[in-house]
Structure formats: structure tokens, C-alpha cells
Amino acid sequence: MSAGLSGRLPDFPWDTIAAARATARAHPDGICDLSVGTPVDPVPGAAIRALSDAAAGWAGYPTVWGTPALRQAIRGYMERRWSSVPLRDENVLPVIGTKELVAHLPLQLGVGPGDTVVIPTTAYPTYEVGARIAGAEVLATDDPDEAAAARPALIWINSPANPHGATLGAAELRRWVDAARSVGAPLASDECYGEFGWDAEPVSVLHPDVCGGTPQGLIAAHSLSKRSNMAGYRAGFLAGCAGLLGELLEVRKHSGLMVPGPVQDAMMTLLGDHDHVEEQRRRYLDRRAVLRPALEAAGFRIDHSEGSLYLWATRGEDCRATVDWLAERGILAAPGDFYGEAGRQHVRIALTASDERIAAAAARLA
């Protein structure tokens, strides 16, 4: 990376909590690391078998657009699980996990200096990183009208949201769709936590009640990292506007951004199976039922957290003080200022730890 580009990027957030990590690791019973959203539970056996069975048949290069069977599986999943508008192959595109997509979507759509990218006020840091890589300005807002007034080149929304788990209903999503279309801005909806709605039912931006029966101008981003414990496989996909996805396909073909062939086969298998998703949901619900009351009994307030894999918790103080308080008890959390100034009094506490570590954290809070 050139010095010029690195100078546009913020510090890598997790580097800033090294001291708290060291304190938590020094706990006599070990660290309870609840700071990251990486899955710890087993990869479904069906994915492992599909990967193994496919490995010998992929001596050649895969295509960027994916196999016809994978495209059909993506379309089927979106229409079956999310009641999306009917999709053709031109409406879907596999990606190498969604983080690389988030980081490079502005650049791949031709966004550049002088343009504005809208992101949520409390947001996954890579939305801002992607805008900065492209040299664009960033506007953080949760108001669709304010977003439209900026005449942006791209708008990001996220529901259920990382870090705080707020979940937008169909009417709220429709406001974003209308605002984006009113100024001709692509609307990218990060729906990677969609399978994990707890107190609210997630809705896709491609639902007919939201998009008015057409995916025009819309991109929905989905991932198998969380729903299928396949973060290490780097398996994600986009669904939405054929014009936008066609533009991305051309750029990504020139860039060689291909999902490995065996991973495509594993994706195809797991997109057709919902039982393993329900099993994983039960695991996270059980951990949530242990950790949330323990935090509340220890004096925390839990805000939002209707969905996703985190509890958005506050003690009414600066987040770094809360991180230190938890670290003294061997618990590592992510400070809310990772996700913007609006999160400065919160910490993000992940459910992505083993049952034993979740139980240990709850006991330490008591």
C-alpha cells in the first residue's frame, strides 16, 4: 500500500485495545474474548463434504460470475427466504466474502474525489474505509432526507446493524429506497446479519413492499460467514440491480476477483439448507439469554440489539473506561468509538464465543 493511500485510512481499530487485551489475558482463568464477531462453532458437515467432493474437479479457473448452479442457488435463497422480487442470473453476483466488497464497492462503481458516500452514524468501520480508498467524502447520517440532500454517489444502510443490532422495518427501508432513487444514488443494503433477528423480524431491501417490485438501483449484500460459520471460506454474494451488478461484474473480471470453485460448491449446498441456520440461531439465542441478564444485573443498559450477534451495552461512561472495567474481569469488548463518535458511551459485546466462555463472562460479571 502506498504512503498516500495509507495516509487516508484510519488506524486499525483493534490495535488500539492492545493494553486491555493484555489485562484480560492476565486473568487467572483466561480471557473471555467478546470483542470480535468471528464464528467459533463448527462448520456444517455438508459444507465440508461439498468442499471435499468438489476439490478434484477444479483444476481450471472459476468464473467471476460463478457457476450457473450457484447463481440458481442464490436466486432461490433470496426468493424463498427473503421473499425477494423475482431474480434472473443478471441480478446476482458471488463475492469473496463481503468485507472485500464493502471496502471496494465505491471504487468499483467509479466513485471518486468530489463524490460523497453516505454511511450510518454508528457503523461497521469498513464503510468509511471504502469511501476513503476511493478518495470520496463521507457523510454519516441516519436520516434518508439528509442523505438525499447531499446528492451522494452511494448510500450504505445496514440492518440488522453492526454494532448495535438496530433492525429497520419495511417502512423505514422504503424511505431509504425512495430517497436514494430520488437522486439516482445506488443504495447498498448490508444484510449479512439477516438470519439473526431476535426482537424484530429483518426485512430485505429486495422485498416487493420495500422496493416497489423492482431491484432498480439496489444492491443487497449477503454472507455465509455468520449464518453458516464459513467466515474462513470467504463466501458471500450480492443480489439486486442488473445494471449495477453488471458493472461490478466487468470490473471484477478484469481484477480476477473469483470465488474459489470448491467454495462455490459449498455455498450452493448450504444456501439450500436452513436446518443448520436454525441450529446456529439456537446457539446464539442461548448465549444471549445467559449474557444479557448478567450484564443488566451488573449495571449495564442494553440498547437496540434487536438483531445481529452483539449486545450494545452502556454504563453511561466513556467506552474506553468500560473496556478497562471489563478487562479487569478478564472480559474483552469492542469500544463503541470503533464505530463512530455516536457510540462513545457504548461497548459491543459479541455472542461469538463458546458456551463455556459466555458462562465464564456471566459469572465474572456477577
pLDDT in tens, 157-210: 999 999 999 999 999 999 999 999 999 999 999 999 999 999 999 999 999 999
146, 153, 82, 147: which is closest to 114 by C-alpha?
Answer: 153
Question: What distance, in Å, lies between the first and last C-alpha atoms of the chain?
Answer: 46
pLDDT of residue 63: 95
pLDDT band per the 50, 70, 90 thresholds, residue 12: confident
pLDDT of residue 13: 72
What is the Cα–Cα distance from 156 to 125, expressed in whole angstroms? 12
Integer CA distances (angstroms), 38 to 101, 230, 307, 319, in order: 18, 10, 16, 21
Residue 3, pLDDT > 60, answer no
Q: What percent of the chain has pLDDT over 70?
A: 97
Domains of the chain: 3-42+276-365 (3.90.1150.10), 59-273 (3.40.640.10)
- In this predicted model, which residue has the larger pLDDT, 333 or 2? 333
pLDDT band per the 50, 70, 90 thresholds, residue 2: very low
Give CB contacts under 8 A, 24+ apart, made by 303-306. Answer: 303/164, 303/346, 304/161, 304/164, 304/165, 304/166, 305/164, 305/165, 305/198, 305/199, 306/160, 306/165, 306/166, 306/167, 306/197, 306/198, 306/199, 306/200
Q: What percent of the chain has pLDDT over 90?
A: 94
Q: Tell me the per-residue pLDDT of 76-135, one tens digit each, with 9 for 90 and over.
A: 999 999 999 999 999 999 999 999 999 999 999 999 999 999 999 999 999 999 999 999
Integer Rg of the chain from CA: 20
Lowest mean pLDDT among 9-13, 105-109, 258-262, 270-274: 9-13
Maximum Cα interatomic distance, the chain, rounded to a whole number of Å: 58
pLDDT band per the 50, 70, 90 thresholds, residue 7: low
Residue 5, pLDDT > 70, answer no
pLDDT of residue 1: 41
- In this predicted model, which residue has the larger pLDDT, 85 or 58? 85
- What mean pLDDT, rounded, does the chain reach? 95
What is the Cα–Cα distance from 291 to 359, expressed in whole angstroms? 8
Q: Tell me the per-residue pLDDT of 218-258, one tens digit each, with 9 for 90 and over.
A: 999 999 999 999 999 999 999 999 999 999 999 999 999 99
> What are the start-end ranges of the H helices in 116-203?
125-133, 144-149, 170-182
Helix (H, G, I), strand (E, B) or coil at 248: helix
Span 29-45, average pLDDT: 95
